Structure 1
Amino acid sequence: MTEETMITLPQLNRPAPDFTAPTTDGVKSLSDYKGQWLILFSHPADFTPVCTTEFIAFANAADDFAKLNTALLGLSIDSHYSHIAWARNIEEKFGVHVPFPIIADLSMEVAKAYGMIQPGASDTSAVRATFIIDPEGVLRAMVYYPMTNGRSVDEFLRLVKALQTSEEHKVATPENWQPGDQVIVPPPATLEEAKNRQSAGYDYVDWYFSKKDMAV
């Protein structure tokens, strides 16, 4: 078995890997975020250009995430003091305060538990991985980016809104769904429901594809 095949990845709709780790805001555990959504995101290294742009974007969107009951938590394999120095540098050079904690994962324990170490990309740095964890500690979405390309923070904000809408209303959302757009009605579960779908009052295309407006 090669090293690449031994990578363990967390699984959607199952409990996210537990952790307790030092951060720039004291020791944090996954259980500290129970009752709210959490975006846990890794970056390859402090004081690097692409990561800096991502941290600025997450920081600028922190209030928008907070309105969705969503906390932010960064991670890299750099030291606690490197994180502090980098956060201070971002505020000094770019005028942006980093309002969320950053995990110092020198042991790589958290990074390995979440599959952030990808030998095909780097043996010593975490790739750009993003995990959305719900208030019960269940992993709901995960996205991996290469070392060379920054993420879209707007997309993660949109995805949290979509996940919360699906959770609350038991619906699916179409490609690039935005709040206020129609949502997709779950396909009928029985032949009788399929026969009656056209007359059910939805925006009907076919028995398996119907949309509806969200109630205001």
Structure 2
Amino acid sequence: MTIQLGQIAPDFEQDSTHGPIRFHEWLGSGWGLFFSHPKNFTPVCTTELGEVARLRPEWDRRGVKPIGLSVDPVEAHHRWEADIAETQSATLDFPMIADPDMRVATLYGMIHPESDPTVTVRSVFVIDPAKKVRLILTYPSSTGRNFAEIIRAIDSLQLTDAQSIATPVNWEPGDAVVISPKLSDEEARRKFPQGFRTLKPYLRLVDMQ
């Protein structure tokens, strides 16, 4: 199955380290970060899970619930948690879905047969409060994810959902943003009384601070 931006994230019910999870019910009314790992007890995945746990204050600040997946059973997930705590000095406080039959991985297109038909690639899905998929990232198994970039993208999504703006290249929170071309100059002046800079009629920058 191919997941595309804007579609409703497929629902499922599956066992996890926090017990059985019905995905949409677990997401509730907030944002979700759903990410997969090729296999338990692998080096890159161990560092990633430790980082997601360390970033708990950042997820909470943005109303984001992280949840992982691996094609191993729950018992193996629990054993892996001990290794993560020992090597990464971080305690997993979010659920890890057990997917030994690859049912969820197949549902979300996480199995890439030409890469490896037995494990998932490093998939990332950011899901909004309406259960819509808003961001998709896919990494090869050899490349660990940059969670700072994932947080930056979530910041952009949450900011642009609330305003008629977009974020330009290399944007970081606090930087100038782009005014939507759908707004006329008159509408933009009403919406952004602090003023804006017009580089081209279609390229107007405004400071949000």
Q: Same fold (TM over 0.5)?
A: yes
Residue type of the alignment partner of 1:88: A
1:177 positional shift: 1.4
- What are the Cα deviations for residues 65-121 of structure 1, in whole angstroms up to 9, with x where unaligned? 111000000001011111010012211333211111000011211111111000111
SS at match of 1:67: helix
Q: Do the aligned partners of residues 106 and 210 (structure 1) sit closer, same or farther apart at CA in structure 2, a change above 3 Å counting?
A: same
- Could you list the per-position Cα deviations for residues 5-32 of structure 1 after superposition, in whole angstroms to 9, with x for gaps in the alignment? xxx2111011011111111011112222
Q: What residue number does 2:21 align with? A: 28
Residue of structure 2 equivalent to 1:19? 12
Q: Aligned residues, how many?
A: 204
Pairs within 5 Å for 1:4-15? 8-15=1-8
> Partner letter of residue 105 of structure 1?
D
Pairing partner for 2:157 from 153, 163, 166: 163
Aligned equivalents of 1:212 and 1:29: distance in 2? Answer: 42
Q: Distance in 1 between matches of 2:122 and 2:83?
A: 21
Query: Deviations along 1:154-197, whole A, 9 cap, x unmatched?
Result: 111111111000111131111221111111101146xxx47x79
* Paired AA for residue 2 in structure 2: L
* 8 Å CA contact 1:42, 1:129 repeated in 2: yes
Q: What residue number does 2:32 align with?
A: 38
Q: CA deviation at 1:199?
A: 8.2
* SS of residue in 1 equivalent to 2:158: helix
8 Å Cα contact 1:13/1:139 also seen in 2: yes
Measured in 1, the distance between the counterparts of 2:189 and 2:21 equals 52
Q: Point out where structure 2 has 5 or more consecutive residues left out of the alignment.
A: none
Q: 1:56 to 1:187 in 2, by over 3 A?
A: same
User: Is the 8 Å Cα contact of residues 198 and 206 (structure 1) preserved in structure 2?
Assistant: no
Instruction: Determine if contact 2:197/2:204 at 8 Å carries over to the other structure.
Output: yes
Residues 166, 172 of structure 1: 8 Å contact kept: yes
Aligned partner of 1:138 among 132, 137, 149: 132
CA–CA distance in structure 2, aligned partners of residues 53 and 135 of structure 1: 28
Q: How much is the aligned-residue C-alpha RMSD, in angstroms?
A: 1.8
TM-score (norm 2): 0.92
**What residue in structure 2 maps to residue 203 of structure 1?**
197
Any conservation in 1 of the 2:127–2:133 contact (CA below 8 Å)?
A: yes
What is the DSSP-based 3-state SS (H/G/I as helix, E as strand, rest coil) of the residue aligned with 1:23?
coil
Distance 2:164 2:51 in 1: 31
**3-state SS of paired residue (2:166):** coil
TM-score by length of structure 1 reads 0.89
CA distance in 2, matches of 1:72, 1:39: 5
- Of residues 200, 204, 213, the one that matches 2:207 is 213
Distance 2:87 2:123 in 1: 26
